[in-house]
Each structure stands twice: as C-alpha cells, then as structure tokens.
Structure 1
Amino acid sequence: MANSACSNSYTIVTTSYMIDSEVDSGYIFILTPERLVSIISTIPELKIDYLFVDEAQKLTTKNDSRSLVTYSAIEQTLNNNPGAKLFFSSPNLSNPDVFNSLFNRSKSKVYRSTEGATAQNMYFIDLLNDSFSVVNTHDRNLEKIERDFNKYKSANDLIYKLNHKKSKIIYCGGVESTLVRTRDFIKYLKINNRAINPKNIEISAQIREFVHDNYELAEAINYGVAFHFGNLPQSIRDLIEHNFKIGNIEYLFCTSTLLEGVNLPARSVFILTHKKGLSPLEPVDFWNLAGRAGRLAMELSGDIFCIRDEVKIWDNKAINNILLSDKNDISLTPSFYIEDKKRLNELHEIIATGETGKIKNSEFLRTLGDMIRIDTMRDEKHLPLINYFQHSGKPEIVLSAKNSTKDINLPLNILLANSHIPVDSQYNAFNKIKSLSVNEIKLSWQPSYDEIKSKLSLIFEIYQIDKFATGQNRLYSNSIPYYALILSQWMYGNSLQEIISGAIIYKKNKTIYIKNAPIPFDSNNSSHITALVNDTIKDIELRVGYLLQNYISHYCQLLTYVHHGNPGANWSQFIEFGSNDPIVWHLQMVGFSRDCAVYLKRNFSKHLKMNVESNKLVIKNKSTIKELVKKNKLYSLEIHSLL
C-alpha cells in the first residue's frame, strides 16, 4: 500500500505531526478515532473526500465509551466535510444499513455477503458428558456423533491431537485464563516429550533480551506455542503473527484482541469459553472469531471446536444464544440508542447533577452525557445525537444538557476534541490555568523526574481527576510517583527491557495481583514477571499512553489558547512517540514502531541525520544497516520492509 500510495503522490499519515503544509500531495490517513478528532479539530480546513470505517460494528458495542468516541469522530468529520463519501466494513451483520441511517445518509448503497472465504465445520465437544456433536448451522441444532473418548481426556488432548501439526488458534477469554491455559498446555507438551523447535531458539533468546529472562513467552516459543493479547509490545506481537503465519508457531492462545483488526486465520479454531472477559460473547464477536478457521489458498476448509471442560463454560444458555445463533441474522443497534427507562433516568441524573454515584457503567453514561451537553452548544442543526434523544421519550435530557452548559465559555473546538474528558473537569482546568503564571504551568523539554511528578500533581489537582475519573482502569493520585517513573522512562526513549527492570526495582517488597489477589512480588517467579510485564505495558499504553496523554494534550491545548502559543514543550508529543528525540519521532513517521526506532537511534545514530532546513530525516547507508540487522529476528523484518 505504501509504495502504491507514494507512486500516486499520496502521503500516508498516522498522526497529525506528519502533516506538512508545504507538501503538495494528498494524504491517506490511517488513524484511531481519537487521532482523527484531534486532526479535524486542530486543522478544521482540512478537506476529507473519503472516510473508510473498518470494524464498524464497534459503533454498536454496549456500554463502551470508545464506541462513542468513534461515533463522534465520524460525525465531526462528516459535519466538516458534508460531501465526503462514507464507507463501512463490518462482519456478520444483517442490517448494515444501520450505519448509514445513524449519520443521516439517505442516499446509500448496501452490499452484504453471506459467503465465507472457505468452507467451515463446527463441532461442540462436552468433555464433562463425553459428547461430541456437529453444529448444524442451517437447522441450528447439535447432532451427536460417536467418538472414542479414550483418546481425548482433556482439552489439551483435543488441541494437540485434532488436526495434528496444523496451525491452531485457541480462544481463552481473558488474559489470566489465556496464561493459565498456555502454562497448562506447555506442561502437557513436556509430559508428552514434545521436542523444542530449533528454529525458535533464537527467537526465544531475543524475546528474553527484549523483555526479561523470565518472561514466559520466551519458553513457550521454544515449543511452538505463543500467547496473544493486548498487553504485548507491538514488536513482539508482529513477531508472533509473522512466525504463526510461516508455521514456526503452531499453537496461538489468545483473547478477543485477535478480533480487532488482526488478519490471522488458522486451520483450526478452538473456543474454550463463551465469554469475553466477564461478559458473554456477543454473536457478532463469536462468528467473527469462528471466521478465523480456514486459510484461503492454503486449504479448502477450516474447523471450529467449541470445548466444554468446566461446569460454568458453555452452559445451555450460551449454547442457545451464541453457538446456535443465526450468523446470517445478527441485527445491531448503535451504542447510544438506549431504550431502557432506568438507564435513561441514570443518564438524565448524571447530566443534571454531575454525580455518577453507584451507577453501573457510569463511565459510558458520563461520556454520553457530556457529548450531548457539547452538542447543545453547537450551531449545527439535525445532529444525530440530539435528534435521537429529543425523540427518545425523554426530551428533558436535552433540555438539562443545554441548561448545564450556560456558564461554560471554553472554546467549542477544544470541547469537541476532548469529549472523553469530563466537561466539568475541562472547565475547572481552564479556569485554574488562567489564574496561574506561565512559569508555574509551562512544561520543560528535558524534564527531571521531580518536575514530571510535580506537573502530574498539578494536572491531577486542576482537573480534579480523583473526583471525575471512573471505570476499572481509572487514574489515581496516589499512583503519581509511579506514573511519573513510567512517563520519565518512556519519554526519554528507554527500552522496554529497561522500563521492566525499573518496574521490578519499584515492586521490591510490594505486592502484585495474580488472579485478582494481592501476592508478595517475587522477581524469581516467572508468572510474577509475566504479570508485571503485562501490567507495565498496560500502564504504558493505557494509563500513560492514553489516559494521561489525553489530559496532557488537553493541558497543552489550554496553554496554547490562554497564552496564545504553548510557552513550553508538548509532552503529549513525547508520549505519543515514546521519546523527546526528533530523530526517533521521524523514524516513526516513516513507519517504524517506537521500539524499532529507539533501536535504530541507539545502534545506528551515525547514519541518521536531521536536515535542519527541510526538517526531514536523512537515513544514510541503508544497505549497511540492513546487513547488520539480519540476525535480529525482532527488528529485521521491519527494517528490511521500510528501508
């Protein structure tokens, strides 16, 4: 795609920092919803001709604040570019026209296919009752067949013996269950004298070097096994996916992350639970996961095995509602279409009082309420969100929203770009910043740990984060010293291995949570190290890289507005690129991951120079770099594809 785009005078852009006003070419933006909102709010004159929304079913995910941000990004883009052509792509949906009606697109075309890329066979295996059934997806029933269960005593037997030596994806639900299943399967392989794959020894060694000696993925890789979930470094994730595709990894234990835009089919898919985290899988997600079975151009069919080996897994309700659901009749509704009167009353209460109290999934309702409040401040008519709630049977929701914003004079473009931050929190910070001197609020280009901690304390105070933050992954002021440590290491370009080492020192004589229970941390315990790695990456990507970055980005926007130009550094940019080094930024703008960019800067700095006049990165002696990284399994693929 990159080569094709370049040959047609288009520049691929993944962040607003890559936009160059002096370049006379078109752009192809590949963006998260948050980055799209950021771009259209900071460059409102930017003309967008086509908008492609992949995984559009996420607009319908219930009680998910990200679905609201996605909606807002699309709505604002269309509002700024009414002539833009809009395309949606979504799996397993019987009413795809719902997306067009959501955005008032009356003149639209819908194409729906019910044919899969390969034929698929689905089975339900109940190990508790020794039954083996074919799932008849046409008549939607289970047809029992005779099978010798002496060969299959456990889920591990089934995973190992069915379609032996063919690629297998094993869906386990949550991260903890994925790790437990992976550990148990490796023990099974050892008992059955499974030999280490010599091809994977070097890959395993580089994972140990990149993360930590006791990181469990390294041992798993030796046996052709890997786990795959959100809390993995991108370089590791890319390495796993590549080696799974070429056959070095045969067994891939995973969470629902595999549903989210990762094109990774397998000969067999084993579904060991009907849950996604603590909640049941939605039929759309189940059939999306099942659709991974069968590799186009490699085999004619794929197999899906749904296995019950625990009492609470795949009960009758799950079988009827998920396994036997009609994949050709899945109808979805946008996440903010609320018909439940109790939820509507709770939404009204949050808007009217600002209090979330003990309301379930209050983060979603708070975000939705703030989006309604912001929309009442806009001049545009026929906004989808306002129209829906005016006709929902509770028009007082819109009236309360309008009344609640009468005294808020924060610029509308800042509010629109930051609907994921509570409106009252934004406004409080705005008023506080106006009362502080420049020296009290500006951010340094080379901040010390103490300055980072001090500025985070200020941000927590003026945004009243302890008061307004909600949700399981919320920020806490008593963790500011830890956030400052992670942020300091991240923005100074420390490697993941260095950050993990720092986290191990920080955790000394402290506890770590294993299966939601606090346990004294033991740095010699591989499961503790894996949990620490997962937690640290989650903190980097979610708490620092998303939640804190949102606040810091908003803080910098306010500094720019109040003082007519940001008087200091933009730490939000440091967080986005994981460095305060312009060379590392520009390497990522070329397409390198943060980890690979840091690696190149550290090992090949003499070949990397910034052209001061054009502010462009010049990479010299590319062939030399490619030759020297041949043996580095972690980065060689990335470097060879981009240099």
Structure 2
Amino acid sequence: MAKRKSINIFFASPNIPNPSVFLELVNNTPDESYAVKVESVSQNRFFINCHTDSSYLISDYGDNILFPKLNFSGNVITDLGTILKTFSSGRQSIVYCNTIEKTISTAFEYAKTLEEVKNDYIDKLVDIINEKVHEQYYLKYCLKKGIAYHFGGIPEEIKIKVEELYKLGFIKIIFCTSTLLEGVNLPAKNIFILSEKIGLSNMTNVDFWNLAGRAGRLSKDLSGNIFCVNLYNQEGYWKDEKKVQILRNKNIKEVEPIILMKNNKNLYKNIANYYTKNEYTNKSLSEDDKKIIEMYGNILLYHDTVNSDSILKDRFIDSGNNSLDILKKIRNENSIPGNILAEGIDINIEIQNKVFNGDKELLPIETTYEGCYEVLKILCKEYDWLRTENKGNNPLIRSKEQLTYYATLMEGWINSKPLKYLIQKTISYYYNSGENKYISLRKDGNMYNVKFDKNNSLHINTLINNLIKNLENNIKYKIKTYVGNYQSILRSCDLDLECDWEEYIDYGTTNPKIIDIQNLGFSRTMAIFLLDKYPDLFIKSEIGEIIGIDDEKLRASINQDKYEEEYKELNTLFEWE
C-alpha cells in the first residue's frame, strides 16, 4: 500500500543478519541494504543450576569457570534472593519469568522478603495506583520494596511510570514477560533469564539475543551479565542444561519468511484449501496456524483485487494445483471491495461475503449499556462468533453470556470513563447483589474456576489483569475490527450510519471534542483532563473544530502542585523546560 503511494520504505531490525529479506517481501531489490555487526558492550554469560548447586561462567577460551557452591535451599524465593544478592549486588537487574502468572507471583513473593524503601517518587506512584487502579493491586506492594513487574496487561499510564522510575534507578529489579522483546528500552547491568520459552514456544536465537542484549547499558557499563537460571526445575525453565547451548554461541541464522521458503509447510496448498473450503493438509493445525493461513489468503485476494505486484500472489500461482483457476474463482465469487478487504484481513472471507450479500441490521444510536449489548449481539450473529471466534488459547468468546461482560467494558470505555470506573463496574458485574460469578485462575499451568470473592486480592488482581487484556485485545482490537468491517460494508451498500462505533472504540469516547484533542497528539486521559479543566484555551476552526491549544496560557494557568503528574506529561509534550 505504501509502495503504490510512492512512499520510501525503510526496514531496520536488530540481530537480523539479512535485513534485505524484508525488501524481497515487497518485491524490492535487495541491493540497497546494509548489515553491520556491532557489540555495544561486552557480555559475560553464566549458567546457574539451583538444583545441583552448580554455577559457572562460560568461557570462549577453554573450560567453564566454576564458582563456589551457593548452598541453595530448594525454596524458589529463597534461592532467587541468594542469586540476586550474590550477582546483582544493588545493580539494576531484569528478571525474565515468561508467563504473567510466574512474573507476578515471583515478584510478589520476593517482595515479601525485602524491607520497604523510602522514596518520594515511588510513594507518588503508589498513590496513583490507589487513586486510578485499586488499593489491592499487587504492583504497589512490590513498588514499596523497590522492585516492580512489567507485562502487557499493566495499565499504560502505570507502565510508563514504572519504566521512568527504573531508568532513574529508583527501582532496582524488574520482573518481566516477553514485553521487553517488543521494543521497550530497559537496559540493565544484569539480566536473569529463568525460562527458555515465550509462552509455550521455545525462544528463537533472535528472541533470546534480543532479550539478552538488554544486559549492559551503552555509555554506562563496560560490560553486562547474562544469567540463565534453573530456578524452578521445570520443563521450559532450563531444566535441560543442553538448552544452554543457545548462550554459548551467538550464531543467528538468516531469516527466511514462510512465503519465500521452499519448505513452507504447504502454505500455498492450504491457502487453496481455505478458498475451496477443503480440509487443511495437517489435521492437527492449531487455531492460530489456521488463522494465519486465512490471513495470508485474505491478503492474497486483496492483492489480486487491486491488481498489485505481489510475491505472495506470484508464489501461489506458481505452486500449481490449479492455483490460478482457484484464484480466479474466488475473485469472481467475492463481493467485498478492495479497501474493505485491506481493513479486515483477519476476518474470514466467506463470512464477510455472507454479511455483504445478506440482510443487514443498522447499529443502534444509543451508547448506553443496552446499545453496546445490541451492537455485540448483531456482530455475534452476523459473523457467527460462537463458531468462528470460540477456539484457540485466547478465544474472543466461549458463550453468549460473555457479551454482557464485554458490553459492561465497552459502555464505560466509549463514554470516557477512567480505568478505576471500569474496574469497579467489572467487580460489580462479577459480584452483583451477592450473586458471585465464576472467575478463572491459573495454578501450576492449569486453569480452574472459582466463585469471585471481592475481598480476595488474588481475585481482584486477576480481574484487573483480565480486564486490561480484554480491553486492549478484544474490545480495542478484535471487536473494533469487526465493527469497522460491518460499518464499511453498510457504507458500501449506501446504508446511513448515524454514529461511528468504530471511532468511539478507537478513541474511547463519544465526545467529538475529546476526539479532536486526541488528534492533536494528546492521550485519552490528558484530552479528558484538558477539556474538563481548561476548555477555554483551545483554538477552534470556523466550524468549531478544535485545531490547537494555547500552550503558553496553559503553562501559566495549570496548578503544578495540584496537577503534578499532568504538568509533567505536558512539560514533556511541549518541551517547556
């Protein structure tokens, strides 16, 4: 899409020895590419096995350098404390735990062994958590001990402040999941890697060295330390010492995307099977793998519909098995315009066509709970969610009853409500007039259901984590995608839309002024704050649209003591100081 608009395209990726492959994917010549191998700091590599009480430094010049025994106790938290005290010794460290459950529980239990720290910045963040999240949120207890945890399900505002305190050195140890593989810049003197997995999958060399590369801070340290630690003595957590071979050699292979591979796991044959509604070649394919095949099929159909040059299309046609005839047939049967295909690549093309060619209900105009519930019921019926979105590790929906939960979240979100409101509404949903609904908890890798107890801090934290995950992944991504697809289909059929539900979900508001303010570059929270406290400082167009703000008047007007956090955010945005 960028190429058709004559936009210059640049790809950059750390640890990839053949960055030119990204150019090949979009039919560009790989000649204009450059790869460089630079080590910013030297890195020492260690392996610690708590269950055999053996620790050593990996040497490139001979045998491993053994350390004296550390007299491990067999208690996970006690042994972790021994490791951090011995090897971290007050320096900033990252502890990678893989799953959210292990990250939270390990950090929380370790925090219990520490003394409270006295720090004004940490105290302010604890106050913010009490005010904006919940008094029983585990993270605040960790912060009081000078440590924290970090994963995708932490409220964005809190996560940013945790990162700031870590960079300032007020937080010494941070426990994390693979979010640190996804672009968060948090280098440390030491990184302790407690698992060789990301979720259920083994780390690739690229994943491992992207994570391990956080050890050592350029301009601050001459070296960093990488520790692989068998702490839990479980499969996937360095129980098999042979897996430590990944630490010995930083030998990252060239990346070969599946659409360019000769051995592509029957990708093109399965795209044809998707088009013809036949079984896939591998009957044990996971739901995620099936979804990927469908997405490639939708992208291919989009490329063909807009007559775009495409490696994917060329490889599909060259794969044989009547591929060209199959593509022509699906093209002729397809009613979906190219622009809608591009926006809905993760929605089954057969379902999209049924919606396009069938009778369509207009979406409600009321943004109440009832209106949200009605939108969700329409989408669930039109896109057959109970069949298409009820499988895999993280399905959108398991039963129709979940629509009432999503409607509760959606109503608060699109009506500009803060996170604490959403949390309280969700607690009320699970504990309505004493009628407890069930909540799923994970223990030792297994899920089990218990009745929700609003006085149980574990239940509260699980609810908050699930709420944020559902808001980010399901409401603001999956459901928004379906809403956008449905509204685009309605528009293409010349059916009027009295309100834009996709926009409401995208911006988290139905207020056009708050939308205008967000379009100036402010966050949703800041947009709501500014409109509430300083509505007269906005600059408007002739038709009343907000097009700017008088930042100098804002700087003179805002009460720095009363709105300290808001002032700090605005100060960063406007570079006042």
Is TM (by shorter chain) over 0.5?
yes
* CA apart distance, 1:194: 5.1
| 1:344-392 superposed Cα distances (whole Å, 9 cap, x missing partner) | 5544433321667863221112222232333343423x41101223344
- Cα distance in 1 for residues equivalent to 2:125 and 2:364: 41
| Contact 2:416/2:509, CA 8 A, preserved across alignment | yes
Structure-2 change in CA distance of 1:581 and 1:166 (3 Å): same
C-alpha distance in structure 2 between counterparts of 1:243 and 1:522, whole Å: 33
Q: Distance in 2 between matches of 1:558 and 1:88?
A: 33
Q: Is the 8 A contact 1:414 1:557 kept in 2?
A: yes
Query: Residue 574 of structure 1: CA displacement?
Result: 1.0
| Counterparts in 2 of 1:341 and 1:216: CA distance versus 1, 3 Å | closer
Give the partner amino acid of 2:277. T
Query: So what's the TM-score if we normalise by structure 1?
Result: 0.80
Give the match for residue 418 of structure 1: 344
- What is the alpha-carbon distance in structure 1 between the residues aligned to residue 382 and residue 93 of structure 2? 50
Is 2:274 aligned against 1:350? yes
CA distance in 2, matches of 1:463, 1:423: 11
Match of 2:525 in 1: 595
Are the equivalent residues in 2 in contact too, given 1:134–1:144 (CA < 8 A)? yes
Q: Superposition RMSD on alpha carbons, in Å?
A: 2.6
**Structure 1 position 215, deviation (Å):** 0.7
Q: Return the match for 1:254 from 152, 176, 181.
A: 176
Q: Is the 8 A contact 1:372 1:398 kept in 2?
A: no
| Secondary structure in structure 2 of the residue aligned to 1:154 | helix
Match of 1:385? 312
Q: 1:208-258 CA distances to partner (integer Å, 9 max, x unpaired)? A: 111011111111111111111111222111111111100111111111111
For the 8 Å contact 2:122–2:165, the answer to whether it is kept is no
SS at match of 1:88: coil
Structure 1 letter corresponding to 2:461: T
Match of 1:510 among 434, 437, 444: 437
The alpha carbon displacement at 1:408 in A equals 1.7
**2:53 pairs with 115, 127, 130, which one?**
130
Quick one: distance in 1 between partners of 2:411 and 2:279? 34
**Partner Cα distance (1:266, 1:230) in 2:** 20
TM-fit CA distance, 1:147: 2.4
Select between 421-430 and 597-606 the one with higher mean Cα deviation: 597-606
Task: Provide the rounded CA distance (Å) in 1 between the counterparts of 2:535 and 2:567.
Answer: 17
Is 1:169 aligned to 2:94, yes or no? yes
1:344–1:385 Cα change, 3 Å: closer
| Cα distance between partner residues in 2 of 1:512 and 1:384 | 46
Q: Does 1:525 align with 2:525?
A: no
What is the CA–CA distance in structure 2 between the aligned matches of 1:145 and 1:453, rounded to whole Å?
63
Contact in 2 for aligned 1:346/1:359 (Cα 8 Å) = no
- Given that 1:425 and 1:468 are in contact with CA atoms closer than 8 Å, whether structure 2 keeps it comes out as no
Residues 142/490 of structure 1: CA separation in 2 closer, same or farther (3 Å cut): farther
Which residue of 238, 256, 275 corresponds with 1:314? 238
SS in 2 for 1:85: coil
Task: Give a deviation string over 1:153-192, Cα, whole Å, max 9, x none.
Answer: 6123212442322111111101111111111211222xxx
What is the deviation of 1:318? 5.8
Matched-pair contact (CA < 8 Å) for 2:377–2:403: yes
One of 431, 447, 452 as aligned partner of 2:357: 431
8 Å CA contact 1:267, 1:303 repeated in 2: yes
The equivalent residue for 2:559 is 627
Query: How far did residue 310 of structure 1 move?
Result: 2.5
Q: Distance in 1 between matches of 2:210 and 2:355?
A: 42
Which deviates more from structure 2 when the two are superposed, residues 311-320 or residues 163-172? 311-320
Q: Structure 1 residues 580 and 495, CA, compared in 2 at 3 Å: closer, same or farther?
A: same
The answer on whether the counterparts of 2:116 and 2:144 sit within 8 Å (CA) in structure 1 is no
* Pair 1:90-2:13 in alignment: yes
* 1:454 correspondence with 2:361: no
Partner of 1:116: 39
Q: 1:630: Cα distance to partner?
A: 6.0
Residue 94 of structure 1 and its aligned partner are, at CA, apart by 1.9
Matched AA of 2:385: I
Q: Do residues 278 (structure 1) and 200 (structure 2) align?
A: yes
What is the deviation of 1:631?
5.5
Does the CA contact (< 8 Å) of 1:234 and 1:593 recur in 2? Answer: no
1:459/1:281 CA distance change after superposition, 3 Å: same
The whole-number CA distance in structure 1 between the counterparts of 2:279 and 2:465 is 33
Structure 1, gaps ≥5 residues long: 1-75
* 2:148 aligned with 1:226: yes
Is 1:159–2:84 an aligned residue pair?
yes
Alpha-carbon contact 1:93-1:328 (below 8 Å) kept: no
Q: Deviation of residue 294 (structure 1)?
A: 1.3
Residues 430 and 595 from structure 1, CA distance in 2 versus in 1: closer, same or farther, beyond 3 angstroms? same
Structure-2-length-normalised TM-score = 0.88
- Please give the per-residue CA displacement for 1:442-470, whole angstroms capped at 9, x wherever unaligned: 442x5222122112211222222333335
Mapped to 2, the partners of 1:484 and 1:217 lie a distance apart of: 28
Contact 1:197–1:223 at 8 Å: present in 2 too? no
Shift of 1:587: 2.7
Letter in 1 for 2:395: R
The alignment status of 1:637 with 2:563, answered yes or no, reads no
| Residue identity opposite 2:106 in structure 1 | R
Match of 1:304 in 2: 226
**8 Å CA contact retained: 2:513, 2:546:** no
After TM superposition, the structure 1 stretch with the greater mean CA deviation from structure 2, 143-152 or 248-257, is: 143-152
Between the aligned residues of both structures, percent identity stands at: 28
- Would you say 1:330 and 2:253 are equivalent positions? yes
Q: Does the 8 A contact of 2:18 with 2:255 survive in 1?
A: yes
Deviations 1:524-554 (A, max 9, x none): 2222211111100111111000000001111
Aligned match of 2:504 in 574, 586, 601? 574
Where do residues 285-296 of structure 1 align in structure 2 (5 Å cutoff)? 285-296=207-218
Instruction: Determine if contact 1:168/1:251 at 8 Å carries over to the other structure.
Output: yes
Amino acid across the alignment from 2:529: Y
TM-superposed CA distance for 1:486, in Å, is 1.0
Q: Is contact 1:121-1:303 (8 Å) kept?
A: yes
Candidates 279, 290, 296, aligned match of 1:362:
290
2:493 matches 1:558: no
Of 538-547 and 224-233, the range deviating more from structure 2: 224-233
The 5-angstrom pairing of residues 28-177 of structure 1 reads 76-78=1-3, 80-81=4-5, 83-106=6-29, 108-136=31-59, 143-150=64-71, 154-177=79-102
Q: Partner residue of 1:237? A: 159
CA–CA distance in structure 1, aligned partners of residues 304 and 106 of structure 2: 50
* Matched residue SS, 1:405: helix
Residues 133 and 142 of structure 1 are in contact (CA less than 8 Å); yes or no, is this contact kept in structure 2?
no
Match for residue 138 of structure 2? 216
Deviation at 1:108, TM superposition (A): 2.7
Given residue 465 of structure 1, which amino acid in structure 2 is its aligned partner?
A: W
2:108/2:141 contact within 8 Å kept: no
Q: Which amino acid aligns with 1:258?
A: L
The 10-residue stretch of structure 1 (206-215 or 595-604) with the greater mean CA deviation from structure 2: 595-604
AA matched with 1:466: L
351 and 166 in structure 1: CA distance in 2 versus 1, 3 angstrom threshold = same
Residue 337 of structure 1 and its aligned partner are, at CA, apart by 4.3
Distance 1:613 1:388, change over 3 A: same
Structure 1 CA distance for aligned equivalents of residues 227 and 464 of structure 2: 31
Structure 1 residues 386 and 418: alpha-carbon distance in aligned structure 2, compared to 1, 3 A threshold: same
Equivalents in 1 of 2:557, 2:220: separation in Å?
Answer: 35
CA contact (8 A) 2:54 2:69 kept: no
3-state SS of paired residue (1:252): strand
